[in-house]
Chains A and B, each alone.
Chain A
């Protein structure tokens, strides 16, 4: 089960309001994406915690429907 870039972006933005999300489809196969997420919610958090917030927003799809998402997170 693959996901579209639009779906991924929508879920992340719902989970992390005020975030800026940039998604690239790396392989053009709808399964390998790179996401840059910039969110005020990341301030003061470790990288692990920042990524966990994004995974939470994706509601369990990461590692399942979404196999490959290279993730970069930043506070604005």
Chain B
């Protein structure tokens, strides 16, 4: 594994829910990233985020790692779940909440 892939593997192992995004949850710098933050906030799960705009190596590395060309990207328990469209669709269908429940990711506060 390359160094960046190693770093990413470490990040997705360290937290149950990991979001690679543009900007931060408080200040998203892309509408797609903002949407995923909003959805995660609605589900009430705690998530770790990484701002790819601050790290060019991570920005390119995560695309290769996931074989996915765009950001945001969401990982749950080390598994790639999808980008903005998939996350939104899953939330609307109730599948995202189910996935968190199935994987044992606790919602800290239902929003």
Contact for B69 among A47, A48, A63, A70, CB less than 8 A: A63
Determine the chain B residues whose CB is within 8 A of the CB of A62 once the complex forms.
69-70
Determine the chain B residues whose CB is within 8 A of the CB of A75 once the complex forms.
none
**Interface code B14-36, partner A: CB below 8 Å = 1, 0 otherwise?**
00000000000000000010000
Residue of A nearest to B83 (CB): A51
Number of interface residues of B (CB under 8 A): 16
Residue of B nearest to A67 (CB): B70
Residue of B nearest to A71 (CB): B85
Contacts of A48-67 to chain B: CB distance below 8 A: 48, 51-52, 55, 60, 62-64
Determine the chain B residues whose CB is within 8 A of the CB of A60 once the complex forms.
69
Determine the chain B residues whose CB is within 8 A of the CB of A55 once the complex forms.
68-69
Contacts of B85-105 to chain A: CB distance below 8 A: 85-86, 89-90
Determine the chain A residues whose CB is within 8 A of the CB of B89 once the complex forms.
47, 72
Interface SS, A side = mixed
A-B contact count (CB 8 A): 31
B63 near A47 with CB under 8 A, answer no
Residue of A nearest to B70 (CB): A63
Cα distance A71–B70 in the bound complex, in angstroms = 12
Determine the chain A residues whose CB is within 8 A of the CB of B83 once the complex forms.
51
The answer, yes or no, to whether B39 is at the interface (CB within 8 Å) is: no
Apart from the given pairs A62-B70, A63-B70, 14 other A-B contacts in the complex at a CB distance below 8 Å? A47-B90, A48-B68, A48-B81, A48-B86, A51-B85, A51-B86, A55-B68, A62-B69, A63-B63, A63-B69, A64-B69, A71-B85, A72-B85, A72-B89
Give the 7 A-B CB pairs with smallest separation, nearest first.
A63-B69, A62-B69, A63-B70, A47-B86, A71-B85, A48-B82, A55-B69
